[in-house]
Amino acid sequence: MENFISKEEEADLQSTMDSVGWQSSQSGRRKQDYGPRANFKKRKVKPALRQLPEYAEFLFQRLTKVEALSGFVPVELTNLDYDSSRGSWIDFHKDDCWLWGDRIVTCNLLSDTVLSFLEDTTNTLLYVPLKRRSLCCFSGNVRAAFKHGIFPQHIVGRRIVMTVREPSSWWQSGQLENDGIP
């Protein structure tokens, strides 16, 4: 969905995020995390260290108006800051299904990029261009069967992505403490 946010909203988001400060992350990225803290190896969740930020509330409200996102309840926000001068990229991965729901929503800021999807068994590689200020949601078979990532050559200049996640059905049902989570 192109032009999900305006140029002014994008500038305000960037300014606010930069004023909050960034933590160093992997592969030349910087990050900001909001929402529950998860230990993915032990499959344990602790309460939020930092609650969802007020500056993103307008974005969360706007998500509720998108038909494909009916019932989407944001519980986690990760902001990632990529910059070609740092050689930023993100390796192919799948977001954990035991904690996060089916829909992964991203808002792409500051520059166009390409989100790549890889299906391991057939070695199928798909490229999805993402415009600056666009919204992207992937779910269903794409979320389950494909890993996603961004190649370094697809980062030109600076790019910020806001990734918003909803809770899994296990989380919603209160079953996260059970040992039988897949």
Residues in a beta bridge with 34: 77
* Residue 51: domain span: 7-172
- pLDDT above 90 (res 86): yes
**How crowded is residue 56: how many other Cβ atoms within 10 Å of its Cβ?**
19
User: What pLDDT does residue 43 have?
Assistant: 65
Q: pLDDT digits over 1-39, tens only?
A: 999 999 999 999 999 999 999 999 988 899 999 998 776
61 occurs within a structural domain: yes
User: What pLDDT does residue 49 have?
Assistant: 73
179 occurs within a structural domain: no
Q: For residue 123, give the CATH number of its domain.
A: 2.60.120.590
Task: State residue 127 phi and psi, 5-degree precision.
Answer: -110, 125
178 occurs within a structural domain: no
User: What pLDDT does residue 137 have?
Assistant: 96
Q: pLDDT digits over 159-179, tens only?
A: 999 999 998 876 666 655 544
133 occurs within a structural domain: yes
34 occurs within a structural domain: yes
Residue 40 DSSP SS3: coil
User: What pLDDT does residue 45 have?
Assistant: 73
180 occurs within a structural domain: no
The reported pTM is 0.90
> Can you give 95-162 as a three-state secondary structure string?
CCCCCEEEEEEEEEECCCEEEEEEECCCCEEEEEEECCCCEEEECHHHHHHCEEEECHHHCCCEEEEE
Lowest average pLDDT, out of 34-38, 75-79, 126-130, 145-149, goes to 34-38
What is the sign, positive or negative, of the torsion defined by CA atoms of 138, 56, 30, 154?
Answer: positive
8 A C-beta contact, residue 100 and residue 165: yes
**How crowded is residue 93: how many other Cβ atoms within 10 Å of its Cβ?**
10
1 occurs within a structural domain: no
2 occurs within a structural domain: no
CA proximity to 22, closest of 160, 146, 131: 160
57 pLDDT band (50/70/90 cuts)?
Answer: very high
Q: Burial level of 14, CB count in 10 A (0-12/13-18/19+)?
A: middle
Domain count, the chain: 1
CB environment 159-178: b (16+ within 10 A), e (fewer): bbbbbbbbbbebbeeeebee
